[in-house]
Structure 1
Amino acid sequence: MDLILSYIGFSQSIFAIILILTKRPIKIASVILCVLLLVFALTFGFDILQNYDIVPTRRWFLSLGLRMMCAPLIYLYTKYITKDFSKFNPSDYLHILPSLSLILVFFILKLQPENNLISAELFYDKYKWLRMIYGWIFISLIVYYVVAALRIVIRFKKQIKDNYSFNSYKISLDWLLVMIVLFVFLILLIIISSVLYEQGKINTNVFIFRHILELFNVYALSIWGFHQKQLISGDVTDSDSESGVDIEESSSGKYVKSGLKSEDAKNYVENLVKYMEESGVWKDSELSIAKLASQTSISKHQLSEVLNEYLGKNFYVFVNEYRVEYAKQLLMKKEYGNWSIIAIAYECGFNSKTAFNIFFKKHTQQTPSEFRRLVMSSSPEKVM
């Protein structure tokens, strides 16, 4: 059973890597996700090789070295999926140094003359102190990177309505929160089972449960990771930095380092409103602030500032107000009388009936159905 799980895990990891790399364009976050899946593939692969005595049972340096990469990779994936960097930051390679240092130290020790002829078991027992040191480093890395990844996700979720005009699982990152929690459970299982196994309190059957959880992680990363789209956040991107945009939002929500003048802001507002009214771009059910910024030639961060500071609303409210106003027009027109509420919602750019009903009622204090009934009953002969 254990060997079968290892084969399935290895095959699924490699298959998912190939599948994700076929997506175009290839984003940095996708590459990081593939590296994470490769780590799982190698872990399963070593278990397979161990079954055939190709690698020794005592291979803690490889197993721990690989697992030490997981938390930094999850953090880096979270960082790069929530912000569309144009290139990988070279300093981010430093995050995998602890893992590489363990493998390097092992080979240095193994090449020492006194260690050439000793068995893997004796070598394992001889350097228990080293395992203890890297064990604590491993736990510290887990805590640090899990907290860092959670902070990024939580911060991003708070910014969703400043960047998107719709709600969807594709932008919520709820699956990533689940994955981080599952990863923590996996690490706890690995640590506890390893300690108990060393003490002789459990047998190798416990590793089947570890492989099951690892396999679940692989499938979850494969499915959700493949469908995840590149996201944007309210942070300054590479392109904005290069263009000289210097906008920083304080904890109070104010833009404390903006070079945007009032006169320029007024022109941006006029051009933005004119474009929205003439283009009907709000009918795009997946309209984002980045997409609107590219169409209006206004920096994403300047556009965000104009909306928040000069119009007093976030991007989500700004776009959906246009959608609701258009929906009201359709609900009052006789030729749309036989259209369902969901059909009108889609026609206006909403991506679900629930989102349409919630925002419509918030904006008009009535549901779309109530609004239609009131219009029809009050003056049916005046319906357009």
Structure 2
Amino acid sequence: MDLILDFFLVSGIVIIAIILLQLFKVKHKELPQKVLIVLFLLLFFVAIHFYALLHNIIWLIHLCFLPNDITTTILGPLLFLYVKTLFLKEDGLVKNTLGHFIPAFLFALGITIPTMLFNIFKIDTLAYTHTNFIRTIIRFESLYFTLYLFISLQLLSRYRKLSKQKYSNLTQYDFNWIKIMFLSALFIMSIDIGIKLYESFWGDLSWNADYISVLCMIVLVSFLGYYGVNQSKVLLPSFLLNKEKALNIEKTKDKTLSPNKKEEFETLKHKLEQVLHTDRPYLDEDLTLGKLAQQVSTKDKILSTLLNQYLNTTFYDLINKYRVDAVKEKINLDSYKNYSLFGIACECGFKSRTSFNRIFKKHTGFSPSEFKNNTL
């Protein structure tokens, strides 16, 4: 068993070191990469700490005790901050999120540092760190981290929805991997919480159950490192982050728009339809809300309000509806008979085979191949 643990821990240390090396090699680091550096440094020390525990290397245990002990309390706020850095401007972002790190600071000041000093110097006044009360507090770390995983998942879901109001293609901004990582972490934490509950009622296990969480963490670290190091950043305009403008839009336009506003939107709607039919901007795979707003001679904020509040749709859904219609028109034309289905999709503005198949079926009820066969 020790050999297996040793292999996974050494592998984890090497993997994390490689990821850190990649991050440090980036010349112009953006905030998401800086947050990842802090995160991976913490996880690096955690892996080394458990390696030292496995081999009873006392000096190395003391050296890594502080970062290892605070990781569970600081990891949740760090992941929360990381999600925000992928979507928002950097100005004031860290400052506005500092409050989330206060519990980790208090935990380090009141428990971690005194515990470390007691373990090294055996100071009697610090013996309180080994009482049952403190052990109970420590057991709540997993619940605290789990809470932040839920909060971060909700935040990610919110930002992904808002992204559809600005971008017509989300291929390069696919954050599904973060969702998978968070859900996997929730599963791991549920196991960890179950073990801690068992130990609270029936006593400690004969082996260190934390190794399970650490080994799973190494797998997740590899996942995060592979996808996260070069992740594209999505900047969402501030008006999309306004709850009244983007999240709580009234579904009934008659109740929210004055007659003058409805007339203005009706004019803009006709202009938008004319541009879409004549200029076919949706064929541009990198079309954004801002680009389309320029073509209809309006501001992106006004166009977003038109789509969301007056037409009850999103920019992403509208543009992809036109792209699907374009595919349907070309799918059986002789001039496209040598094209693959995805080749036609690319001609119509799609960038990803997976998203094309999903969007096409959503709008037609058929897969692209089924639709083609049914129209022959």
TM superposition score category, shorter chain reference:
0.7 to 0.9
Q: CA deviation at 1:263?
A: 6.5
Q: C-alpha root-mean-square deviation of aligned residues, in Å?
A: 4.6
**Equivalent residue, structure 2, for 1:175:** 177
* Structure 1 CA distance for aligned equivalents of residues 78 and 229 of structure 2: 16
Report the alpha carbon displacement of residue 294 of structure 1 after superposing the two structures with TM: 7.5
- Counterparts of 1:153 and 1:178 in 2: how far apart (Å)? 12
Local SS of the residue matching 2:239: coil
Match of 1:72 in 2: 77
Conservation of the 8 A alpha-carbon contact between 1:62 and 1:103: no
Q: Is 1:322 paired with 2:322?
A: yes
**Whole-Å Cα distance in 1 between the matches of residues 294 and 26 of structure 2?**
23
Seen in structure 2, the aligned counterparts of structure 1 residues 226 and 61 have a Cα distance that, compared at 3 Å, is closer
- Deviation digits for residues 125-171 of structure 1 (CA, Å, limit 9, x no counterpart): 75425633642652452243122122223334555643443464x54
Mapping for residues 79-94 of structure 1, pairs under 5 Å: 79-81=84-86, 83-87=87-91, 88-94=93-99
The CA deviation at 1:90 is 0.7
Aligned length: 366
For 1:53, the aligned partner's letter is I
Q: Given the two structures, how large is their TM-score scaled by the length of structure 2?
A: 0.74
The alignment status of 1:346 with 2:350, answered yes or no, reads: no
Shift of 1:209: 3.2
Q: Counterparts of 2:148 and 2:166 in 1: how far apart (Å)?
A: 25
What residue ranges of structure 2 are gaps of 5+ in the alignment? none
Q: In structure 1, which of residues 223, 230, 234 is the aligned counterpart of residue 233 of structure 2?
A: 230
Identify the match of residue 39 of structure 1 among 36, 42, 57: 42
Distance apart, 1:211 and its partner CA? 3.1
**1:304 Cα deviation from its structure 2 partner:** 1.8
Structure having the larger proportion of residues in helix: 2
Paired residue secondary structure (2:313)? coil
Instruction: Give 1:38 shift.
Output: 2.0
Distance, in Å, in 2 between the alignment partners of 1:283 and 1:20 is: 36
Change (3 A) 1:318 1:187: closer
Task: Please say if 1:284 is aligned against 2:284.
Answer: yes
Normalized against structure 1, the TM-score is what? 0.72
> What is the 5 A alignment of 1:71-220?
71-81=76-86, 83-87=87-91, 88-106=93-111, 109=114, 118-119=121-122, 127-128=130-131, 131-132=134-135, 134-135=137-138, 138-159=141-162, 161-166=164-169, 168=171, 171-190=173-192, 196=199, 199=203, 201-204=205-208, 206-220=209-223
Q: Which residue of 1 aligns with 2:58?
A: 53
Q: Distance in 2 between matches of 1:181 and 1:373?
A: 39
AA at the equivalent of 1:173: F
Percentage of matched positions with identical amino acids: 21
Q: In structure 2, what is the Cα distance between the partners aligned to 1:116 and 1:369?
A: 67
Amino acid at match of 1:283: L
Q: For residues 278-324 of structure 1, give each alpha carbon's deviation from its aligned partner in whole angstroms, at most 9, with x where no partner exists.
A: 65442233544366557878554432212233444322332123323
Cα distance in 2 between the residues matched to 1:53 and 1:301:
60
